[in-house]
Amino acid sequence: MKKINLKLIMLSLTVAVVTIVACNDEFLNTPPQGALDGSVLSTSRAGVDATVISAYKSLIGWTSNWNEQAWGTAPSNWTFNSASDEHYKGSEPGDLDEVLQFQLFQWGPGNPTIRSKFVATYEGIARSNAAIRTATKFGEVNASDKPFADRLVGEAIFLRAFFHFEAFKVWKNIPYYVETDTDFQKPNDKPALPLIIADLEKAIPLLPDTRSQVGRTDKMVATAYLGKAKLYNKDYTGALAAFNTVINSGRFSLASCFYDNFSVAGDNNAESIFAVQNSVNDGAPDGDNSNFGERLAQPHGDSNWGCCGFKNPSFDLAYSYRVNDTGTPIPVTSATRLARITAGSTEPLDPRIDFTMGRTGVNYLNWGNHSDTWIRGQGYAGWYSPKKNINAQGDANLNGSWSGAQLTALNVELMRYSDLLLMAAECEVEVGSLDKARGYVNQIRKRAGNCAQAPAGSATVTTTISDPAIKHAVYRVGEYTAPWTNKDAARDAVRLERKLELALEGHRLFDLQRWGNFKEVLNAYVAREKSVVSIMNNASPVEDKHIAYPLPETEIARSGGKLKQNTGY
């Protein structure tokens, strides 16, 4: 069967499907169906598939109107990761102070960004459950098409698990909804991870060996997420078994160049396990199929995008890309004081720094050298701009206006093969196979040395790290050559590699929370940052309660008291 990219069929179903299964604003009190009954849709293959595509649509973070949402629905979770050591809120004082609350560890249950994420995530769950009901009914009345119906049921169960996993990462204690629920005032008193794991295990046998269309799920994608859920549940042996199944399948591999994962040309490459499928210039109103949730997190001022200067990478993150003479990382904790890493510095750097953040004087994805004038509220949130999830010159955007330039077809990666290898490395450390973990880390470090940001004026975005035309940096990448024999040191090395490889992709805060070292790491981070970013002097101490965000107070009220607030709020 010819594979058709899911993003190409999203538009034709956007308006109709949203009408069908859009989640009611009172979804804790009423069933999440919309205007049309499932019996109408279950009479045709196209109708059944439409309900599943509707659930995939929720991966974008869109509910019913972009302009009515806060920015917490971005699939990269960049607003929530403002509470990590990767990046600041950005922009300038007084702009999106609800996200500044995350940066300063001062958030509360009335924060509108938190509720925005809750509504969007549970709409995805509602759409998934609607798809399960519709596909199940279709299979019951069309025996010859039951394999087709079962596949769609499997996809929808996977998506239900995915959205609940998103909710778990943010709130930890969540209500879990299934397709047979009739009482929508459910408590959040059951551990979510076992339910997520059970859904993934239920979905896998129903799914095809390979996805029927690019952008959909299949057995290996669901198995990768099963491993991740088990890792979060600290079942390292079970997680490793799932990860090994994916690794041994040969389905995925590292892209030859790190940057290939963040270019339109590299969308859906062999490293992409699961990604949000985005498109532009497809007739959808207001860029509804684009990577809209990332539009604020782009350079400001006289840059190509003109707005809005959020998600500025931290001094701390930049310092993490320093390497020693052998090309291995220098822990940021060894720095006595943070400072700006300027273009032309002779201090050796991991080349991933200049694919992750914009530094003044360094080519920015062939739009010319990054400039201080691209930084909004100069000095308020450092001097770096985000680079991942931003289009290079030549990539299609919505149109030529400054606002249209922000909306692109660039996919948002949810899980890459390098992410999976590093999760497998974590498991290998915990079960005692330290040198197996070293091998996985070295695969990623070796790839990091394959390419670098080309200087301004180059025909391509990338070049070799030894290109003599590079004057803006000295790049060096080395592998770990000595066997790993110390478990604590191996664990630290794997965790640091996750920080370097996956920075600004939405993993860091949730990693720190699940590792249990978030208070130690983030309080030390705040102490370092205070000397270079004055607003960090207003930060509150990181406490145990910050392991989870609070449930929105409006949803607790709507639950009739069934939802219980997280400890500390």
End-to-end CA distance of the chain: 52
pLDDT digit string (tens) for 466-509? 999 999 999 999 999 999 999 999 999 999 999 999 999 999 99
pLDDT tens digits, one per residue of 261-293: 999 999 999 999 999 999 988 888 778 888 889
DSSP β-ladder status, 348-349 and 474-475: parallel
Res 404 pLDDT > 90:
no
Query: HSE on the CB side for 503, CA within 13 Å?
Result: 32
| Cβ atoms of residues 78 and 295 within 8 Å | no
pLDDT per position as a tens digit, 124-172? 999 999 999 999 999 999 999 999 999 999 999 999 999 999 999 999 9
Per-residue pLDDT, 62: 72
Residue 33, pLDDT > 80, answer no
4 touches 100 (CB < 8 A) = no
| pLDDT over 50 (residue 299) | yes
367, 454 Cβ separation under 8 angstroms: no
Q: List pLDDT tens digits, range 52-105.
A: 999 999 999 876 665 556 689 999 999 999 999 999 999 999 999 999 999 999
Residue 496's Cβ-count burial label (10 Å; 0-12, 13-18, 19+) is middle
Residue 197 contacts residue 149 (beta carbons within 8 Å): no
CA 344/CA 356 separation, integer angstroms = 17
Yes or no: say if 76 and 366 are a contact pair by the CB < 8 Å rule: no
pLDDT, averaged across the chain: 91
Between CA 449 and CA 438 the distance in angstroms is 17
**pLDDT (mean) for 337-355:** 97
Average pLDDT, stretch 375-390?
94
User: What residue has token string 């199940």?
Assistant: 136
Task: Give me the DSSP letters along 135-159.
Answer: HHHHHHH-GGGHHHHHHHHHHHHHH
Give the per-residue pLDDT at 110.
96
Query: How confident is residue 24, by pLDDT bands cut at 50, 70 and 90?
Result: very low
For residue 561, how many other CB atoms are within 10 A of its CB?
9
Q: Is the pLDDT at 18 greater than 70, yes or no?
A: no
Tokens of residue 104, six digits: 């300063």
The confidence score (pLDDT) of residue 39 equals 58
Confidence class for position 41, pLDDT limits 50, 70, 90: low
Q: What is the pLDDT of residue 42?
A: 65
> What is the reported pLDDT for 491?
98
Instruction: Let me know: does 6 contact 278? Beta carbons within 8 Å.
Output: no
- Beta-bridged to residue 385, according to DSSP, are 358
Whether 329 contacts 322, CB under 8 Å: yes
Who's near 515: CB < 8 A, 6+ residues apart? 495
According to DSSP, the residues that pair with 313 across neighbouring strands are 87
Does the pLDDT value for residue 5 go beyond 60?
no
Quote the CA–CA distance of 292 and 298 in Å, as a whole number: 11
Can you tell me the distance from the alpha carbon of 69 to that of 98, in angstroms, rounded to the nearest whole number? Answer: 13
d(CA 103, CA 380): 13
In the structure encoding, which two tokens stand for residue 249, read together? 């399948």
Instruction: Give the three-state DSSP class for 8.
Output: helix
Sign of CA dihedral 516, 524, 503, 351: negative
561 backbone dihedrals φ, ψ, rounded to 5°: 90, 0
Q: Which two tokens stand for residue 491?
A: 């664990």
Contact status, residue 132 vs residue 566, Cβ threshold 8 Å: no
Q: What CA–CA distance (Å, rounded) separates 68 from 337? A: 42
* Confidence (pLDDT) at 13: 42
Q: Of all residues in the chain, what percent carry a pLDDT higher than 70?
A: 91
| The pLDDT of residue 32 | 40
Nearest to 527 by CA among 535, 518, 537: 537
The span from the CA of 188 to the CA of 324, in Å, is: 48
Quote the tokens at residue 96.
């999106």
Query: Residue 400 — very low, low, confident or very high, per pLDDT cuts 50/70/90?
Result: low
Q: Which pLDDT does position 43 carry in this prediction?
A: 78
Percent of the chain with pLDDT over 90: 84
What is the distance between the alpha carbons of residues 58 and 129, in angstroms, rounded to a whole number? 13
Q: Which domains does the chain have, with CATH numbers?
A: 14-86+107-249+548-558 (1.25.40.390), 293-506 (1.25.40.390)
Model pLDDT for residues 353-367, shown as the tens digit of each residue: 999 999 999 999 999
For the chain, state the CA radius of gyration.
23
pLDDT at residue number 70:
65
Structure tokens belonging to residue 49: 């598939």
User: How deeply is 171 buried, as exposed, middle or buried, from its count of CB atoms within 10 A (0-12, 13-18, 19+)?
Assistant: buried
Give the per-residue pLDDT at 288. 83
Express each pLDDT in 195-210 by its tens digit: 999 999 999 999 999 9
With beta carbons less than 8 A apart as the criterion, state whether 448 and 350 touch. Answer: yes
More confident residue, 404 or 540: 540
Contact 518, 525 (CB under 8 A): no
- Mind listing the pLDDT tens digit for each residue in 405-435? 888 899 999 999 999 999 999 999 999 999 9
pLDDT of residue 14: 38
Question: In the predicted model, is pLDDT for residue 314 greater than 60?
Answer: yes
